[in-house]
Amino acid sequence: MSKSRFLNIDFLRALSILGMIAIHTLSYNMHTSLQIFLWDWLHFVVIGFVFCSGYVNASSYSEKIINLQTLLGWYKKRLLRLLIPFYIYLIVHYSLWIIFPKYLSGLDLKKTIPYFLNSALLVSGDNLNWLVLLFLQITVIFPLLMYILNKKKALITYLTISLLITFSFGVWNFHPYYRLIMWIPWSLILVLGIYTYKLDQKISNLKIQLIRYSKVVFISAILYLIFYALWVHLDKSLILINNKYPPNLYYLFYGISVSFIILILGTLYFMKATILEKFITFISTNSYQLFFIHFIILDIILTTSSQSLIGHEVGLQFGIVVILSLFLVKISRMIKII
């Protein structure tokens, strides 16, 4: 791996944002069994994001946090990075929708002040803001998790309680309150990312790393299949998104297995070929901005598709959304908007 970047992590994060764009494009185009299949099984993407966040932040946190002042500085930097792009997106999407109603539908937005305020305050409203809230939550608890990881008894206690709570999410319905408690199961992925970073830094041998990743794939895949059988027996929904708010163990083990397969592929890929390295790194570095920008582009494409040759060609829609989103991110970086 590069000294300045973790290229396999970049690979996972890049595929995760592309997968998320695909999910959102497919969600408005589920006309065939293949489209429904892809839409469902691409739902590893948020797990990929949270894992990468834990892995990368463990690096920056361990290197820079030496006292309360630097901790507060780290908090400030993280919170601004999370909130500013979201508020820019919200204002721009609403503004374009109001000014150009012929070309935008607003997707899931509503033209009411309560809806706008709830979206801005992250309590409800816009479907995107749950992810912003999640990353705010895991940012707040991140220092605590870094501390707990160095305390064996505290770590075992935390993991035990979190696993039991996460298991209960598959048994009882917590959907009305998921925004308040969703950080608990997601913190397990955050811990996995931090712990993986520490192991990779401790033993950087590529062969050992790949063996370790393969063990995670095997164990998480077996556990996923066990929960799959249990869910069938209990007559519970096997659709991944129905197990996501908040995530239960059925959902998490699936996402972990897929994410570590991608990490293995990313590690091998970047060892043998680097022609796309800059492209992958660019997508990864700007994944958070792409998350917001692609919604505006998707709104335009979906609203105008019936008037163009695009129609219901989901592959063409996806390609156009990705290309235009990358272009706008590049422009925004050049003029330092976000």
| pLDDT tens-place string over residues 223-232 | 999 999 999 9
Which of 30-44, 52-66, 126-140 is the least confident region? Answer: 52-66
**What is the structure's pLDDT at 71?**
83
Mean pLDDT across the chain: 90
Q: Is the predicted pLDDT of residue 338 greater than 70, yes or no?
A: no
3 state DSSP class of 247: strand
Please report which residue ranges of 100-248 form alpha helices under DSSP H. 113-121, 129-148, 152-169, 178-181, 183-202, 206-233
Rounded Cα–Cα distance for residues 98 and 92 (Å)? 10
Q: Is the predicted pLDDT of residue 249 greater than 80, yes or no?
A: yes
3 state DSSP class of 108: coil
Rounded Cα–Cα distance for residues 236 and 214 (Å)? 29
Which of 116-130, 148-162, 271-285 is the least confident region? Answer: 271-285
Total length of the chain: 338
Computed over its alpha carbons, how large is the radius of gyration of the chain? 20
Q: What average pLDDT score do residues 20-34 get?
A: 92
3 state DSSP class of 244: strand
Q: Is the pTM of this model over 0.85?
A: yes
Which of 197-201, 227-231, 270-274, 328-332 is the least confident region? Answer: 270-274
Percent of the chain with pLDDT over 70: 92
- Evaluate the CA torsion angle 226, 227, 228, 233 in order and state its sign: positive
Rounded Cα–Cα distance for residues 160 and 278 (Å)? 41
103's CB contacts (< 8 A; 6+ apart) are 96, 300, 303, 304
For residues 128 and 36, which has the higher predicted lDDT (pLDDT)? Answer: 36
Q: For 241, which DSSP code?
A: G
Rounded Cα–Cα distance for residues 87 and 78 (Å)? 15
What the block records as the tokens of 90 is 């919200």
- Evaluate the CA torsion angle 140, 144, 147, 152 in order and state its sign: negative
